[in-house]
Amino acid sequence: MKLTLKIVIGLILGAVIGLALHFFAPDIFEPIDKYFFTPLGTIFLNLIKMLVVPIVFISITLGTAAIGDPKKLGRIGGKALLFFLATTTIAITIAMGMAMILQPGSVGIETAEASYETAEAPSVIDTFTGIIPTNPIQAMVEGNMLQIITFAVFIGFALAMLGKKTEAVYRLLEQGNEIMMFLVNIVMKFAPYGAFGLLASAMGSLGISGAKAMLLYMITVFSVLFIHAIFTYGSAVALIAKRNPIHFFKAFIPAMTVGFSTSSSSSTLPVSMKVAQEELNVPKSISSFVQPLGATINMDGTAIMQGVATIFIAQVYQTDLSLSQLAMVVLTAVLASVGTAGVPGVGLVMLAMVLNQVSLPVEGIALIIGIDRILDMTRTAVNITGDAACAVIIAETEKKR
């Protein structure tokens, strides 16, 4: 919460100072922006970009290795994986649809179009034929995320199949993951200053239209998170598990509040498992497998942010995404969610990957970075609720068996 408060302060100061300079001292704004606001924001963006490739490769390899363990790849694992992938696909589809209806990025931001020209995206056929890397190292150098994800999945599957023979490699990757998460935490400590610089620059350049766009973006994300939690998870609990969804949400509120305050699915895991076992009557054997798995691969809230943010940034830069590009956003975000670590701030790293995949500027993250921490807290609450819903559904279906 201390970091959240700092980011909120940075956000408010950046918005106020940026707007004040925009309206009352536009001549002074330009040099301040050039030598202070923009470098401050650029440093933060570069820190995020620095972590993209190693986090994607290591986390997805480990996630696949955990899923691919022959002892765990049974009936329960199959059900959990199906539920997580289905709800993540539904989540990002709702998110993109809502963003197209509300159009948060189409509120009069005129300066964005001139600052970036979108490159033509490859066709669906080219993308799918190029999904297998001929040179994995080159894919990492170029930041070709779909190829990196594919290679990581193959490595993870091999680690699972070889078991004890590759224990040392698995441990090395786990240690690499610890290093990456440590670095994410360090980068997020710089977030209040990055948020200040990025928002001051954005508000100073765009004026009140930028503030309107970000407010509408925030409303859009909150709306989709609420719809997905209540209707997708609530319907699944009611129809598949035959449980009362009101009782489910009421019982799980303690874990949701912890998730909201920590912004971390992993940190909330002990609490969410305790609530699921004691309040929702999920057997310990199911809870202890499904919920940790969900903390690794079920990131519906993150997928919602990526879906809304991608459409938002496309609208701001006045870029029309083709049907194949929209499909690519869904595919990339769903695949990325499999390996997204359950720690604060990592969603922005994954968003950079999704934007690269459809040839949109990573610099667009500047428009949402300031308010992302608040949204991140809500996303985490939704993510762990999805994990618990899956555990309840599997517990009920296994009981019948």
Instruction: Report the pLDDT value the prediction gives residue 175, as an integer from 0 to 100.
Output: 94
Contacts for 86 with CB less than 8 Å, ≥ 6 apart: none
Instruction: Report the pLDDT value the prediction gives residue 346, as an integer from 0 to 100.
Output: 64
Give the 3-state secondary structure of 292-358: HHHHHHCCHHHHHHHHHHHHHHHHHCCCCCCHHHHHHHHHHHHHHHHHCCCCCCHHHHHHHHHHHHC
CB 287 within 8 Å of CB 277: yes
Tell me the CA distances in angstroms from 162 to 167, 174, 212, one per residue in order.
9, 16, 54
Instruction: Report the pLDDT value the prediction gives residue 117, as an integer from 0 to 100.
Output: 42
Instruction: Report the pLDDT value the prediction gives residue 113, as an integer from 0 to 100.
Output: 40
Other CB atoms within 10 Å distance of the CB of residue 199: 31
Region 325-338: mean pLDDT is 78
CA 35 to chain CA mean position, Å: 31
Per the model's pLDDT, the better-predicted residue between 227 and 315 turns out to be 227
Q: What are phi and psi of 368, to 5 degrees?
A: -120, -10
| Least trusted range by pLDDT, from 148-157, 253-262, 279-288, 308-317 | 253-262
pLDDT in tens, 128-168: 677 788 999 998 888 776 788 789 888 988 998 888 899 99
CA atoms within 13 A on the CB side of 137: 0
Region 371-392: mean pLDDT is 85
Region 112-117: mean pLDDT is 39
CB 180 within 8 Å of CB 58: yes
Structure tokens at 341: 């670590």
| Least trusted range by pLDDT, from 41-45, 81-85, 137-141, 201-205 | 201-205
CA atoms within 13 A on the CB side of 231: 9
- Res. 263: pLDDT tops 80: no
Other CB atoms within 10 Å distance of the CB of residue 171: 10
Place 400 in a pLDDT band, splitting at 50, 70 and 90: low
Dist CA 368 CA 170 (whole Å): 36
Domains and CATH numbers, the chain: 2-400 (1.10.3860)
| Least trusted range by pLDDT, from 81-85, 109-113, 228-232 | 109-113
pTM of the model as a whole: 0.67
- Res. 184: pLDDT tops 60: yes
Residue 260, burial from CB neighbour count under 10 angstroms (0-12, 13-18, 19+): middle
Contacts for 336 with CB less than 8 Å, ≥ 6 apart: 56, 60, 145, 149, 306, 350, 353, 354
pLDDT in tens, 35-68: 998 898 888 778 877 877 887 788 778 877 876 6
Considering only CA atoms, give the Rg of the chain. 21
Dist CA 248 CA 234 (whole Å): 8
* Helix, strand or coil, per DSSP, at residue 224: helix
Other CB atoms within 10 Å distance of the CB of residue 7: 24
Instruction: Report the pLDDT value the prediction gives residue 116, as an integer from 0 to 100.
Output: 39
CB 56 within 8 Å of CB 152: yes
Region 302-326: mean pLDDT is 86
